[in-house]
Amino acid sequence: QVQLVESGGGLVQPGGSLRLSCAASGSIFSINLMDWYRQAPGKQRELVATIATGGSTNYADSVKGRFTISRDNAKNTMYLQMNSLKPEDTAVYYCSAVMRTFERATATRYWGQGTQVTVSS
C-alpha cells in the first residue's frame, strides 16, 4: 500500500509565500509523473503543475512565474514553492503521482488527502 501525504498549507496574506511538500511512502517500485492539483470551493479540480521523473515541468497559465514545482527522487518527495500568492489561489491543494508498486506493476495514479491554502488579509 502506498500513501501520499501533503504538508505546508495554511493561511497567508496576499503577496506572501508558502511551500507545500508531498511525501510518497509504501511499497513503491517507481514514480513517474508527479502533479499538484487544486480545488477551490464550487469549482472543478484543476491541474496546477506537473513534473516528470527527469525534471521537465509544466504549469497552468494562472501560476506561471509565481509557482515552482520540484522533486527529490531519492526521498520520493515533491514540492511546490508558491510566491506572490493571490486570493484566487485559495483552494485545497492535492498532490498526485503515477506510480508502480511491488504489488501492482501497472502504473496507477494515486492521490493525497489535500492541504488547505488560504490567501487572505
Chain segment 65-114, per-residue pLDDT in tens: 999 999 999 999 999 999 999 999 999 999 999 999 998 889 999 999 99
Contact between 61 and 78 (Cβ < 8 Å): no
Q: How far apart are CA 16 and CA 52, in angstroms?
A: 27
Q: Which three cell numbers, joined as nine digits, stand for 106? A: 501497472
Mean pLDDT within 59-66: 98
Q: Which three cell numbers, joined as nine digits, stand for 30? A: 517507481
